[in-house]
A = this chain, B = another copy of it.
Amino acid sequence: MAEKLSRVGRRQHATIKEVAELAGVSQMTVSRVLNRREVVRETTRVRVEEAIRELNYRPNLLARSLAGGSSLFIGMIFNNPSNSYLSELLIGAMNRCREAGHHLVLEDFSSYDGAEDVDQLVDRLSGAGLDGVLVVPPLSEDQTLLKKLEEARISAVLIAPRGQPESGTSLSIDDEAAARQMTQHLIDKGHRRIGFVIGAEDQISSHRRHRGFLAAMKENGIEVDPALVKRGKFTYRSGMEAADDILALDDLPTAIFASNDDMAAGVIASAFRHGKRVPEDISVVGFDDTPIASAIWPQLTTVRQPIAEMGYQSVDLLAAFLNDPDADPDKRHTVLDVAVVERDSVRDLSG
């Protein structure tokens, strides 16, 4: 049993030097074929590529970055570890960082609590020797923090900022278009009398989603009954209460569109309390595709954001900006598409 387990590779690394020897060329030539730069002669390249394959050679990222001096240290700051965004965002960001030879450093700002701490935190960032930071929501809408970051000259990419996407560099989804799309989905399924639960008043995405809903209704020539539109706070409970109001009405809607999944789950709970079945008696849809959407029953039809993709692209956006701070301002704001994911909470009335 004293047998020694071999490691997956233990970086027994064929090095670039060995590849060069096997191929009978210099290290530089190998380096060149790897980086696909200056055209290496076809025959030489093939020889090198064969050697690479034979030795199962993989370039050492550390050495590459050290020598190239190109590796960026990118911070990712967040304040809500249970945010289910984070997981996917991280996957995307890490993958891109690995590809590009950058390093992702996580900075937990959970303890952050308003203006008092900001300076201290910004100091920490400066001290960490980061090249720039990715700001995860809801931190990306914290004006106090953002201002400090700017003052401290820390380049930042804001991920899904709920505020105005004109400032700084940012990456976001089109809330309004997404809400319109979801509303259209409901209409396509034959729904006409549709309730809507608005999100928290102080968040811009609330307004945008609301606008999207109204726009879609208008486009389809359907009048919106004001009694069917309630304001919530993006919480489960507020969704439940909003639905309680709506379901107390005489003329019930056939569907309710809640501005996020937590509220949609609350709407469903309320429907249960009122003896309604979902989706048989009433359809419910949410927004965000958070874990709760697929945890509850019936599983929620909702809007899915390409979160991992956002993580991936945010790294590129930051790197691009760092390399050329004066780049085309148009490229400073990326807007990504979303998609409706159909599950079990909508009944098809169009049959």
Contacts and interface: CB of A to CB of B under 8 A. Distances in A.
A240 B153 CA distance: 53
Contacts of A87: 81-84, 86-87, 90
A273 interface: yes
A242 interface: no
Contact of A155 (B8, B106, B128, B130): B8
Report how many copies the assembly holds. Answer: 2
Given A153-B5, A266-B297, A71 B62 contact: yes
Interface stretch (A17-25, A38-46, A91-99, A194-202): A91-99
B295 A265 contact: yes
A294 to B, nearest CB: 7
A26 B265 CA distance: 64
Contacts of A262: 295
A69 B273 CA distance: 63
Interface residues of A, number: 74
A285 B131 CA distance: 45
A240 B278 CA distance: 14
Contacts of A69: 11
A154 interface: yes
Interface in A30-53: none
A9 interface: yes
B7 A322 contact: yes
A127 B131 CA distance: 31
B82 A236 contact: no
B106 A9 contact: no
23 contacts: A4-B325, A5-B153, A8-B131, A8-B155, A9-B73, A9-B126, A11-B69, A11-B73, A13-B129, A60-B66, A66-B66, A84-B291, A87-B90, A91-B108, A95-B106, A98-B105, A236-B297, A268-B269, A269-B296, A269-B297, A273-B273, A291-B292, A292-B295
In the A-B complex, the 3 residue pairs with the smallest Cβ-Cβ separation, listed nearest first, are A87-B87, A237-B297, A9-B129
